[in-house]
Structures are given as structure tokens and as C-alpha cells.
């Protein structure tokens, strides 16, 4: 079966690099074609990379607490760029402090993110979700 392409990176001015590296290796080992944009990635960079590589999903990391601000408007920009219905995930420590995750999830859903992941989610969970959403047996 053809490999699915994922674009990953850490959004905004965020420099937390460790989780991103772990995700890169975990997804690659799981058989994905991973385009890793590293840290400090703008919405535009995610989108441009997804266009050129014909990506199946964009996975945004945010650790430093400004995730909500950084992610705002991303779905609209994807639509604008012709990335129709591309799968959008977000994870890390996407909001400041400890907030009930259901609420956080709802807010990101409203922003057009298909799934949000709470702090400390192990990569196995992410991979299961990807397989389900991208219909990989």
C-alpha cells in the first residue's frame, strides 16, 4: 500500500524539540512518510509543505502554552489553499496550565482540528488514530 504522508512540526515561536523528534521516529517506524519541519514553524510553512508533498495530514505540536493563539485560523487557511478536508491534529501542552481537556478539545474542534491530544499522550495512541482516520488496515 502507498505510504501516507504526514507533515509535522512545532508551531509558533515554540522551541520544544524533543517531542517532535520522538514523533518523527515513531511515525516513520510506523510506516508513514514524514515531512518534519522542526520547531518554530508558521501556519504558512505547514500549509506550503502539505501542498507540495500532497500530504494526508498535518500534525501540529505546541508545548509552550500559546497553542490556541498560534492555531487560530489554520483550518481556514488550509481551505483557502485548496487542502480540502486535510486531517488536522494538534497535541502537546496546547493550552496554559491545567484546564479540563474536554473543553480544550471542544474549542480546538470548533477551530477545525479533527483531533486534539492531551499532554503526555504516547505515540501509539496518535498512530492508532491516524490509522483509523486515514483508513489504513
Catalytic status, residue 135: no
Of ligand B12, other proteins, none, which one does residue 34 interact with (CB within 5 to 8 Å by kind)? none
The nearer residue to other proteins, 53 or 106, going by C-beta atoms, is: 53
What lies within 8 Å, CB to CB, of 134 at 6+ separation is 4, 56, 57, 87
Of other proteins, ligand B12, none, which one does residue 61 interact with (CB within 5 to 8 Å by kind)? ligand B12
Whole-number minimum distance, CB 94 to other proteins, in Å? 18
Three-class DSSP category at 6: strand
Of other proteins, ligand B12, none, which one does residue 30 interact with (CB within 5 to 8 Å by kind)? none
Q: Which residue has the cell 501542552?
A: 93
Whole-number minimum distance, CB 6 to ligand B12, in Å? 9
Residue whose Cβ sits closest to ligand B12: 19
Is residue 46 within 8 A of residue 11, CB to CB? The reply is yes
Closest CA to 60 of 82, 42, 83: 42
Q: Identify each DSSP E strand in the chain by its residue range.
A: 5-10, 33-36, 57-62, 87-92, 115-117
Interface residue list for ligand B12 (CB under 6 A)? 13-19, 22-23, 59-61, 63-65, 89-93, 96-97, 117, 119-121, 123, 126
What lies within 8 Å, CB to CB, of 100 at 6+ separation is none
Interface residue list for other proteins (CB under 8 A)? 3, 5, 13, 15, 33, 35, 38-40, 45, 48-49, 51-55, 64
Catalytic status, residue 16: yes
Catalytic residues: 14, 16
Amino acid at each position: 500500500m502507498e505510504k501516507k504522508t504526514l507533515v509535522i512540526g512545532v508551531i509558533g515561536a515554540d522551541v520544544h524539540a524533543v517531542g517532535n523528534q520522538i514523533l518523527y521516529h515513531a511515525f516513520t517506524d510506523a510506516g508513514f512518510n514524514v515531512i518534519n519541519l522542526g520547531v518554530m514553524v508558521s501556519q504558512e510553512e505547514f500549509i506550503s509543505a502539505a501542498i507540495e508533498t500532497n500530504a494526508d495530514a498535518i500534525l501540529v505540536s505546541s508545548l509552550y502554552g500559546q497553542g490556541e493563539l498560534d492555531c487560530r485560523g489554520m483550518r481556514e487557511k488550509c481551505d483557502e489553499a485548496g487542502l480540502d478536508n486535510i486531517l488536522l491534529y494538534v497535541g502537546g501542552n496546547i493550552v496554559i496550565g491545567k484546564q479540563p481537556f474536554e473543553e480544550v478539545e471542544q474549542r480546538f474542534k470548533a477551530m477545525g482540528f479533527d483531533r486534539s491530544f492531551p499532554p503526555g499522550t504516547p505515540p501509539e495512541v496518535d498512530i492508532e488514530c491516524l490509522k483509523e482516520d486515514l483508513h489504513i488496515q
